[in-house]
Structure 1
Amino acid sequence: MGSVRGWFVVLVCLLVGGVLTVALLGVSDGGARRGTAHATAGPGDFVDIRDVPPSLDVPPSAGAPFPGADASTGTVVVDCGRNVEEHYNQDNVVVSPGLRGGAHHTHAYVGNLSTDARSTDASLAAAPTTCRGGDRSTYFWPVLRRTDRPARYVFERAAGHGNAGEILRPVEVRLEFGGSPVGKVVAMPRFLRAVTGDAVALTARSEENVRARWGCASVPDRLTTRYPRCPAGDRLTRTLTFPSCWNGLDTAGPERTHLVFRAVNGVCPGDMFAVPELTIRLAYDAPGPDVPIALDSFPEQRHSPKTDHAMFVNVMTDARMAALVDCVNEGRHCRL
């Protein structure tokens, strides 16, 4: 009798241990083993693009006044591909340098092929790049996922923290530098770090740093801070524009004080200088009006589209930056 009871205790222990192991595995991989329903944004985060009114809310800055007589109206497009190289990681060398996995979500990159948490100015300057013309700058942003499909690749499963599903790959990545509506721009310093958007917008006290705009390619004048439901065959778009007023001293700084957005009238603060304004535009084949999608985010941000953000490190040579500034200031439209 004692032997039977002993075996029964062992069996119960094994069963309990197995359940706990499965539960822990589910937690450790962000729930990918349990399914992806928890990784989907809430219903209130979506809007039918037909319900978004046409707007003059142009993404490039806090305001978009008509250009004045001294405006720098040129543009420079930099072609760095669409990340077919599959450069992904959970690092953020701009916000948390040196901290591996510090983002707690996956970023996609174009440009500098070496970028991770351990990157230094020297390593970035020596690395290969996806950009035509040799621009070694790094451009990156959080991935967008279809949460009704499971992850298939290692880089899709690596993030955890509730970020699960198939990564949507953009069909277009456009990197464009523009000027100032009120004057000329000066060169960005090499290794300038820049951030746009607010990765913690859902829990922030205000939405002043919510900068990304979402839309559908067929109706470019309708922009929103929610995930748009686009018509079949359309393209879903993300537009992320960076601050363009530099303090003239620092390449990085706490609380984003070294690089800020211009005022509504287009003017930089009195002690700052206008530099070329970077805009990243991403386009995806719209997955369908009923398909669940979610931006990678910190767990407490619940995949809110308002948390969209992007980072940039300028690793252009001085000569290349000078050519970019000349093009913008002279009102030309160039590809470098």
Structure 2
Amino acid sequence: MGRNTRKRRSSLATKAIAASAALALGGGGLIWANFYASAHEENSGQNRTKAAGAQMATISCPDVGQKLTDVPGGAKANVDKELANLDKQITEAYARLAATRRAQQNDANFAQNAIFGPLKEKRSAALERIRIDFKRVGATAPDGLDALAPCTGTPAGQTNAGGNGGGQNGGQNGDQNQNGGQGQNGGQAGGGQDQNGGGQQGGNGGQAGNGPVAADFVDITKVRPNVSKKANTRKAGRFGKGRNSTKGASTGTFSVNCGVNQNKNYNTDNVIVAPGVTNGAHHTHDYVGNQDVNAFSNNDTFAAAGTSCDKKGDKSSYYWPVMRVQDGTQEFDQNNDGGGKEGNVGKILTAKQAEIKYVGSPTSKVVGMPKFLRIITGDAKAFTNGTANANAHFSCTGFEDKVQLTDKYPICPKGSDVVRSFAFQSCWDGQNTDSANHRSHVAFADANGNCAGGFKAIPQLTMRLVYSVPTPVIANGQVKNAYAVDGFPEQLHKPINDHDDFISVMDQNLMNQVVSCVNTGRKC
């Protein structure tokens, strides 16, 4: 990949910023800025981030699913459907937010009256149905559900829970987003002056108007190294090659080759989070391994399905959001839910490599995973939820042991490919294959590599996806050939939202082999 080119902001662009007007919307703390671009910028092409129109914001709602840590079995199916309904309500509200810019400019109360107020009412009704679902099986719903009904507007470029502006990348990539106006994309990315200038990003940028923007990218050669040779963190995974291991450590590895989804097995479902709900993910997934995974699959269909893995005893499902380059391509899902209708547009990129490897614990031996164990790593809504469950890692080939990015997409130098890496939770509660919030039954090891609270160490699943990506070019605050992972439309294609999903469907013989290889220090 070639390096990006950089240009100083034009005088016309400066005048456009000077002409901006801010408008605060009641109730949501939402601030908008209106930018007017030159005719030259307006006609700069479909695959160039837009610079004209109102500076769009997004919608931030409490994640109800993460609050429900204990759902009775008899209520689970109905509760899952209501949680999916809440996601659909947000998607519809965001579409209305994006389609009514002029009305919002003309009426400071429009967003509250026409979008946030009705959304609160719909969410309140869904939360009441969840409460009734609990009551029907003789249980009591958690207190405080009513407080989860209101949503607020979030200016583009900001997150909740402290956000990511502080630069989790190790370099100083702090975005200076002045009410959506002049995001400078990290004045000092690793000590160098990185003037990518997100300032001209009218709207939320991107081919579909919901990201990414120039400030979401960084030249990796200008980011200060942030991967320690003695990394010893709870999410280290493949980045922890230098982790200090104790005498009882399990130092082996076990690799599986399941292909790169060359047979184009896609859908927009998420059978873990939204079983029985079509388009429950609101974005498109790549699937390798198990070949019969959709909203209506279950343990029986998983066990009966075929697999793309070379080891036929592995019918596990490994799935992740597709990555696209926003080059104007009209993909097969351009007019479909979860695709173009929800802002996920451009050419779907197939990974060059999809490496799946199980590794051990630096402090103990591991036990086998139970069949049908479900694990989600990362958070598809981290942009609005905050970073507590975020676990995104981006880098470039040749830089992986030096720089890992969490809240930026890397611009790689010529000859280098983009890499997405995932290290899943490696501690299991010893009893459950899933939990109500799909997180409580598994956990990351602590800073010393130990599993806490009686949890047991299991083989840690790690994945490495390598892509040949056309080089994004940033000039005058715009990005051409932007690439991004698919996501919920209101998450604005921020890199922090990257995530990965896994359902373990290995036969017992193969799982025994995994445990043996890992515990005896072999490379299998």
391, 411, 429: which one pairs with 1:229? 411
Q: CA deviation at 1:154?
A: 4.3
Q: CA deviation at 1:105?
A: 0.5
Q: 1:151 to 1:267 in 2, by over 3 A?
A: same
**1:67 has 2:245 as partner:** yes
Percent sequence identity over aligned pairs: 42
Kindly indicate whether the alpha-carbon contact (under 8 Å) linking 1:212 and 1:239 is maintained by their aligned counterparts in 2. Answer: yes
Kindly indicate whether the alpha-carbon contact (under 8 Å) linking 1:75 and 1:328 is maintained by their aligned counterparts in 2. Answer: yes
**1:251 has 2:433 as partner:** yes
Question: What is residue 4 of structure 1 aligned with on the other side?
Answer: none
Question: What is residue 399 of structure 2 aligned with on the other side?
Answer: 219
Question: What is residue 165 of structure 1 aligned with on the other side?
Answer: 346
Instruction: Name the CA distance, whole Å, in 2 between partners of 1:260 and 1:286.
Output: 33
Instruction: Name the CA distance, whole Å, in 2 between partners of 1:68 and 1:151.
Output: 53
Query: Bigger CA drift: 120-129 or 287-296?
Result: 287-296
Pairing of 1:35-50 with structure 2 (within 5 A)? 36-50=207-221
The one-letter code matched in structure 1 to 2:449 is G
Q: CA deviation at 1:39?
A: 4.4
Q: CA deviation at 1:219?
A: 1.4
354, 357, 363: which one pairs with 1:182? 363
CA RMSD of aligned residues (A): 2.1
Question: What is residue 193 of structure 1 aligned with on the other side?
Answer: 374
Instruction: Name the CA distance, whole Å, in 1 between partners of 2:232 and 2:377.
Output: 11
**1:148 has 2:327 as partner:** yes
Q: CA deviation at 1:187?
A: 0.3
Pairing of 1:11-26 with structure 2 (within 5 A)? none
Kindly indicate whether the alpha-carbon contact (under 8 Å) linking 1:41 and 1:292 is maintained by their aligned counterparts in 2. Answer: yes
In structure 1, stretches of 5+ residues that fail to align are 1-26
Kindly indicate whether the alpha-carbon contact (under 8 Å) linking 2:221 and 2:413 is maintained by their aligned counterparts in 1. Answer: no
Q: 1:329 to 1:155 in 2, by over 3 A?
A: farther
In structure 2, stretches of 5+ residues that fail to align are 1-94, 100-205, 474-480
TM-score w.r.t. structure 2 length?
Answer: 0.56
Question: What is residue 305 of structure 1 aligned with on the other side?
Answer: 495
Instruction: Name the CA distance, whole Å, in 2 between partners of 1:87 and 1:234.
Output: 27
Length, aligned pairs only = 303
Instruction: Name the CA distance, whole Å, in 2 between partners of 1:60 and 1:84.
Output: 34
Question: What is residue 90 of structure 1 aligned with on the other side?
Answer: 268
Instruction: Name the CA distance, whole Å, in 1 between partners of 2:495 and 2:514.
Output: 32
Question: What is residue 21 of structure 1 aligned with on the other side?
Answer: none
Instruction: Name the CA distance, whole Å, in 1 between partners of 2:335 and 2:262.
Output: 14
Pairing of 1:277-288 with structure 2 (within 5 A)? 277-288=460-471
Kindly indicate whether the alpha-carbon contact (under 8 Å) linking 1:247 and 1:259 is maintained by their aligned counterparts in 2. Answer: yes
TM-score w.r.t. structure 1 length?
Answer: 0.86
Instruction: Name the CA distance, whole Å, in 2 between partners of 1:313 and 1:303.
Output: 25
Kindly indicate whether the alpha-carbon contact (under 8 Å) linking 1:187 and 1:321 is maintained by their aligned counterparts in 2. Answer: yes
Instruction: Name the CA distance, whole Å, in 1 between partners of 2:252 and 2:233.
Output: 14
Q: 1:252 to 1:128 in 2, by over 3 A?
A: same
SS at match of 1:109: strand
- If asked which structure has higher relative contact order (CA below 8 Å, sep 6+), I would say 1
SS at match of 1:188: coil
